[in-house]
Structures are given as C-alpha cells and as structure tokens.
Structure 1
Amino acid sequence: MLFDNCQPRYLPHLSHSELLQMGLVPMAPELWIEPDGEAGRYHLNKLAQRSRLGDRVYRELPESRPAQEELSTVLLKHLLQCHADCYRREGQYLYCLPGGFRAPLEHGEALWNASLWVADDLVIMEPRGDSYTLTAASLCAASQWRLEDKVGGSLADIHAVIPGFDSVLLPKVERFFQHLKVERPVVRYNWSLQHGHTLNRRPGSEGGEDEPLFYRVERQSLRRLPASGAVVFTIRVYLHPLSQLVEMGNALPALLRAIDSNPPGMQQYKGFDRMAAALAPYRRLAGESENG
C-alpha cells in the first residue's frame, strides 16, 4: 500500500485551480527535502520498480555524471545537516531513522543511489544551447510519462504532450531555468486524480474504473547546483483516498469546481472525463454539504 492514511498535507487545488500554471514560490534551502515516516515505503517501491522495469526508471547520459556526483554530495550534506534527527551515517551506509532503512553512501550509479536516500524522485536538467536537457533521472513514481521517452529531450520536448504548454508556459519556463539562482530554490505543487493507488503511473498503467479514486499531489522543487550549473528537479508524490477530502471543509467542493473550470483539453489530458461515473457520488456529497 503506497498511499497516506493521514489527511493530506497539501491541497494545492485550493490555491490554484488551474492546472496549466507555473505556481513557483521561494523555498528555504533547508526545506528542500521533507523526510517523514513514509520514506521507507517509497524506498521499497524504488527497489521494486528498478527490479521490475530496469532502465525504464533510471537513465543517464554519460555527460551527466559530474552533475550526478555533485547532486549526491549536496544531497548528503543537506540530509545530515538539515535533517540530523532523521539521518545518520553508519559506516558506508546512510541510515534513515523514520524510514527504517539503510542505503549505501557510494555506488557506481550516483544519481540512482542518492535517490534511494529519499522519497523524492530526482531529475537532472543541464543547459544545452538556449534550453535545458534532461540528462539523468531516477523516476519511480511517474505521473503519466515514460522516462525512456524524455531523456535527452529539451524542455519543449518533455512537455510537448501538455495542452497549451508550448504557447502559454514554455517561454516563461525557459526564462526561469536561465535565471534560477543557486541561493534561491523554489517549490511548486501539482494536483490530479487517479483510479487506484499505483504510485508509478506510467502510460498504460491506469487503474480500472472500478477502483477507488485517489487525490494525487506532487511537491516539486527546483534548485541549481553551484559547480555544474545543472538544475535539480525533485518530485515527491502524495496519494490520498479522495474520500478523505469529504470531511475537510471546502476541500471536496473546491476540487470539483477546479476540475470543471479547466479547459476541456486539459480535462481530457488529466483523464477527468473518464472519471465522470466515479466522481458522481462525490458531486452529490458536495452538493449536500453546500446546501446544508
């Protein structure tokens, strides 16, 4: 089971109902990673996904290795200094106390190894000409994309399937990547729905329509590495049964309004049109709640 039984930590649809938006806000560097008691389940999921899917969840271009090594060094320092209550060295291993697991400090695949320390997926983007290219990633909790389709791709290539991205957001995203400062990392949040609680949501792995709906949130951070100039993109996925939102005040009615307010193309891209039957009981509950 890879979903959280506690109430959602984040409800991003309350602050931004639109799905096609940058939504970047400054992040204190010490908040880069958020360790918690769920880390162990994500660690096991990564090991299972790598065993099952191999290089479909971890890929690298050879030229990315300096950036991988730098990320590994920066991440280890961050975990030991900013989260000393959660992480400690044990010989050649890093021990995650809340997760209850140990992972090697060094490994031939630097980025993959570093990704095993945290719940987040890790992506490295490096400057190539006027854009940035995905040169390495550990991606075990994908949200409807395949790493093998994106590695080596530019920002435009990576986001080409998102309706309206090229005309609305691409120029802004390109500018942001060019001007991101080492000392000014940022964070953003995505929200969506899915049938079932599969964490690694590659295309073709959609849950059946008879499976319960889950509220899926991605906490995404971006920070620049000082030596290589690469941008590190972290993705932490949170999954919650949609039923949890029923008892959270305006959370459910606001979610349904957010779904309906997005353009038809985006609703189709997110699969909301295929969830109409599953959403019907929630619409009735929301209506009853708003009508007293």
Structure 2
Amino acid sequence: MSLENLLQEARTIEAFDSAPCYFPLMSGRYEVKPGMMPFGSCLSNGEADQQVFQIDDNFNHYRQAKLLARAERLSKYYQICNYSKAVAGAIARLIINRLTQEYPNHFCCKKSIDNTWIFYSRLTKETLYLDADWELQQVQGSAVFPPYASILDALALQMQEDLTVICRTANGSNWLSAVHLCYPNHWSAEAKIGKDFATIHAPVAGIEKINRRADAIVNTMIDHKPMVRFAWGLSTDTRLNHHPQAPSGISLSQWRGRNFDPQHPKLYLRIERQVIWGLPEYEAALFTIRTYFRDCGVVKKDSVLRSKLHAAIQSMTPESLVYKGLAESKASILEWLNKV
C-alpha cells in the first residue's frame, strides 16, 4: 500500500459541472445545532437534493479511498455492536431500494423464485447475492480484499457516503449499532461503536445544550420523516480519510493536516451532507455522511460568500477553534480571506 495513494486528495466540487453545491454557513455564524430540515428540501441542486445517495464523476476516487482504508485494517473503519439480523436486513433493503430508484442506470435488484435477491452494480461490476433476510451470501466480480464482511460492508463500497446506524431499546436508551466510516473527519469508528448519542458527541465543543436533549433528538431521528442536515469545517487538504490514527509509515503531523501556510495558502471547506432516515418499526435510523470539498480560493472571489465565511470563523468560540483545529491559524486565515 503506497504512501502516495494513502495521501491522495479528492477533487473539489469546482472540478465538476454537475456536482451538488452546498454552502451551509449563509447565516455567517458557526453554530452547533441539530439543523435538521425535511429531506428533499430544495437547495438549488435539482434532482440531487431528492437523493439519499449522491454519485458523481468522483466515484472512482471515493471508492479507491474506501478500498485503501479496508486494506489497511477493516476493523479500524467498520464496526457493529448488537446489530440485529432484522435491523441489518431492513437497512440493506432501504439502501438497495434507494440506490435502484435513484440510479436505475447504475443499479438493479432482482428477486429470485426462492425469495433470494440479486443486486448488481454497473459502477463496480459486482453482483451481490442475498438470502431472503437480505444477508450477503456470495459476491461475483469482486477482487476486494479483505472480502466483504457483510451486506452493509459490501453496499458501502457501491456509494460515496459513509454509513452509520443508531438503534433504540424499548426503554428509550440508544446506541451506535453499526458504522462504516472510511472518510472519518478526525473521529474513529472503534471509539464510538456501542455508545449512546450523548457520549458520542461529548467531545464536540458547544454540544452541551444539544446533549441535554440527546434522547429526544434520537427519537426524532427514528420516528420522524427523513431529514437532511449539514456540518462544515476547514481543512488544508482534500483527503477524505482523516482518521485520528495515522497509517503505518506516515507521521501523525503529516497525516493530521490542518496546517495553514500563508505563504502557500491552501484552504478548503469540508462539507458533510447528512441524511437521516428513520425506520421506527425497527427502532433504528440510517445516518449517511457525504463529504464534499469547496476551494476557499474560489469561494473568496464571491464577496457574499467570503464575508459569510469570514464572519463564521470570527464567531467561533475559543473552544470551537481548538476542536476544529483552527486555534493557531485563525488570524492568518482571516487575513488571507481579506486579500482579494
């Protein structure tokens, strides 16, 4: 596994004509809030706003990043905990139904006479054979190593999203039951699996008010109609994988990034589009994370966007600046943004 591949960067949305374009800081404030809106809300991206999964011309790079992550150590990026067969089947069915509805040219799924399923991806040329409970039985056309561990693992490699599943018990407690996170933004699947919403988010600066309503938020995720929300931060590269633990052979400082150099400025908005799809009959919800990058060198050419970004950074608390890795570079970033 070459270091060059591990450090390879994704292209920004400016490189594509058809990529969805989001700017979730039009308020000009950095805010820690649920910010959930109805799924399918018009955000000026046409059909893409109606899709759970967003596939674009960057697909091959995103898949390669997942393949490299899995090859490094699958358990570093994929974890399950008390993930029941019923929930796993319901999540697989939901994902397959959405993929085939949203991209009939890319995916198809056929039911066999014995109630088994055959799912085919024209993007990866892989055929997944599932039993009547939507469990993975066999794969054709795949040279993936290590072999797929489950249907969730296999489906995650057909898309550009990371996936998490949160579950709820009869008494109202909740836990992270599955996570496939090959594009981590400085957090770890192994550290979060099995924990409840409040514990998972405890390190987030400014989360205290939200965490006091953690159970109510999880209930909303599971019981309400599908929703979408956005999160954002700043990075000095466009590498998808920023796991807190560096791969073997790469120094932590090189791997971590977030080193803004005013002499050679590189700055990007790292934007996450997150879709929450509740399955109340299974006491669970699917939570998808789609990562995009926007070049701040392009953003700052737009006076409105530049002022919003400047104001949002300016509004960050000292604790948020530390959490987002901007404490040391805030002043130089703001100065650079002002230079048009």
Identity among equivalent pairs (%):
23
Shift, 1:93, TM fit: 5.0
**Among 36, 43, 66, which residue is 1:24 paired with?**
36
TM-score (norm 1): 0.86
**Matching residue of 2:124:** 101
| Equivalent residues of 1:26, 1:184 under 8 A apart | yes
Q: Report the Cα distance in structure 1 between the residues aligned to 2:102 and 2:31, rounded to whole angstroms.
A: 32
- Comparing both structures, which one devotes a greater share of its residues to helix? 1
**Matching residue of 1:34:** 54
Residues 226 and 45 of structure 1, relative CA distance in 2, 3 Å threshold: same
**Matching residue of 1:3:** 11
Residues 268 and 208 of structure 1, relative CA distance in 2, 3 Å threshold: closer
**Matching residue of 1:142:** 184
Shift, 1:276, TM fit: 3.2
The ranges of structure 1 where at least 4 consecutive aligned residues each deviate by more than 6 angstroms after the TM superposition are: none
108-117 or 170-179, larger mean C-alpha shift:
170-179
Aligned residues: 282
**Matching residue of 1:266:** 320
- Please show how residues 214-225 of structure 1 align to structure 2 within 5 Å: 214-225=268-279
**Matching residue of 1:51:** 71
Q: Report the Cα distance in structure 2 between the residues aligned to 1:32 and 1:232, rounded to whole angstroms.
A: 11
Residues 124 and 16 of structure 1, relative CA distance in 2, 3 Å threshold: farther
| Equivalent residues of 1:180, 1:224 under 8 A apart | yes
Q: Report the Cα distance in structure 2 between the residues aligned to 1:76 and 1:144, rounded to whole angstroms.
A: 29
Q: Report the Cα distance in structure 1 between the residues aligned to 2:128 and 2:103, rounded to whole angstroms.
A: 16
Render the CA deviation track for 1:155-209: whole Å, top value 9, x for unaligned. Answer: 111011012313x101334213214466610000011001222211122531162
**Matching residue of 1:276:** 330
**Matching residue of 2:174:** 132
| Equivalent residues of 1:103, 1:116 under 8 A apart | no
Unaligned runs of 5+ in 2: 1-8, 41-48, 111-116, 130-135, 137-148, 245-251
- Please show how residues 87-126 of structure 1 align to structure 2 within 5 Å: 87-88=107-108, 92-96=118-122, 100-106=123-129, 107=136, 108-126=149-167
**Matching residue of 1:61:** 81
Q: Report the Cα distance in structure 1 between the residues aligned to 2:70 and 2:173, rounded to whole angstroms.
A: 29
Q: Report the Cα distance in structure 2 between the residues aligned to 1:154 and 1:183, rounded to whole angstroms.
A: 19
Shift, 1:139, TM fit: 0.2
Q: Supply the RMSD in Å over aligned alpha carbons.
A: 2.5
**Matching residue of 2:4:** none
Shift, 1:249, TM fit: 3.5
Residues 246 and 55 of structure 1, relative CA distance in 2, 3 Å threshold: same
| Equivalent residues of 1:215, 1:242 under 8 A apart | yes
| Equivalent residues of 1:2, 1:197 under 8 A apart | yes
- Whether 1:193 and 2:234 are equivalent positions in the alignment is yes
- Whether 1:14 and 2:21 are equivalent positions in the alignment is no
Render the CA deviation track for 1:25-45: whole Å, top value 9, x for unaligned. Answer: 001395222222222221221
| Equivalent residues of 1:180, 1:223 under 8 A apart | yes
Q: Report the Cα distance in structure 1 between the residues aligned to 2:332 and 2:126, rounded to whole angstroms.
A: 40
- Please show how residues 66-85 of structure 1 align to structure 2 within 5 Å: 66-85=86-105
Q: Report the Cα distance in structure 2 between the residues aligned to 1:152 and 1:174, rounded to whole angstroms.
A: 15
Which residue identity lines up with residue 264 of structure 1 in the other structure?
P
Which residue identity lines up with residue 142 of structure 1 in the other structure?
P
Shift, 1:240, TM fit: 2.5
Unaligned runs of 5+ in 1: none
| Equivalent residues of 1:95, 1:102 under 8 A apart | yes
Shift, 1:62, TM fit: 4.5
Shift, 1:66, TM fit: 2.7
Which residue identity lines up with residue 251 of structure 1 in the other structure?
L
26-35 or 53-62, larger mean C-alpha shift:
26-35
Q: Report the Cα distance in structure 2 between the residues aligned to 1:180 and 1:234, rounded to whole angstroms.
A: 12
Render the CA deviation track for 1:92-137: whole Å, top value 9, x for unaligned. Answer: 55225xxx42344243512111211211100010013433200111
- Please show how residues 194-213 of structure 1 align to structure 2 within 5 Å: 194-203=235-244, 204=252, 205-207=255-257, 209=259, 210=261, 212-213=266-267
- Whether 1:162 and 2:204 are equivalent positions in the alignment is yes
149-158 or 60-69, larger mean C-alpha shift:
60-69
Q: Report the Cα distance in structure 1 between the residues aligned to 2:124 and 2:228, rounded to whole angstroms.
A: 27
| Equivalent residues of 1:60, 1:135 under 8 A apart | yes
Secondary structure, counterpart of 1:144 in structure 2: coil
Shift, 1:152, TM fit: 0.7
Shift, 1:281, TM fit: 4.9
Residues 278 and 46 of structure 1, relative CA distance in 2, 3 Å threshold: farther
Residues 127 and 182 of structure 1, relative CA distance in 2, 3 Å threshold: closer
| Equivalent residues of 1:259, 1:272 under 8 A apart | no
